[in-house]
Amino acid sequence: DGGITQSPKYLFRKEGQNVTLSCEQNLNHDAMYWYRQDPGQGLRLIYYSQIVNDFQKGDIAEGYSVSREKKESFPLTVTSAQKNPTAFYLCASSIRRGSDTQYFGPGTRLTVL
């Protein structure tokens, strides 16, 4: 079955530690995205990638980093510089950049203690 997987579902980290969230897709989509969701707010774009070895900052990139070494994978690192990292993180992909429907993974809930 084709789809987007994110792991783990729940993640706990101590303040000051970097943490990497996994996102893998086998849909053969070119574009991938990372969003953050907080209660009472819309999804906010952190980073996006239109093609392998290329990525761009979204609206709230500070304190985050990404890589796109393979078409299938787009990991997100939440660094200690992110002031408010506790949130629900969603990865998405689309066939091409921006112009197509985005399909979402199941999400990772990160709690920083």
* Sole window of 15-23, 60-68, 72-80, 92-100 interacting with other proteins (rule: CB under 8 A): 92-100
43-82: contacts with other proteins (CB under 8 A): 43-45, 48, 50, 58-59
- Using CB under 8 A, count the residues that bind other proteins: 25
The CB density around residue 8, as the number of other CB atoms within 10 Å, is: 11
Q: How far is CA 22 from CA 38, 39, 70, 73, 113, in A?
A: 19, 22, 13, 8, 20
The answer to whether the beta carbons of residues 23 and 7 sit under 8 Å apart is no
Which residues lie near other proteins (CB under 8 A)? Answer: 4, 35, 40-45, 48, 50, 58-59, 88, 90, 97-99, 101-107, 109
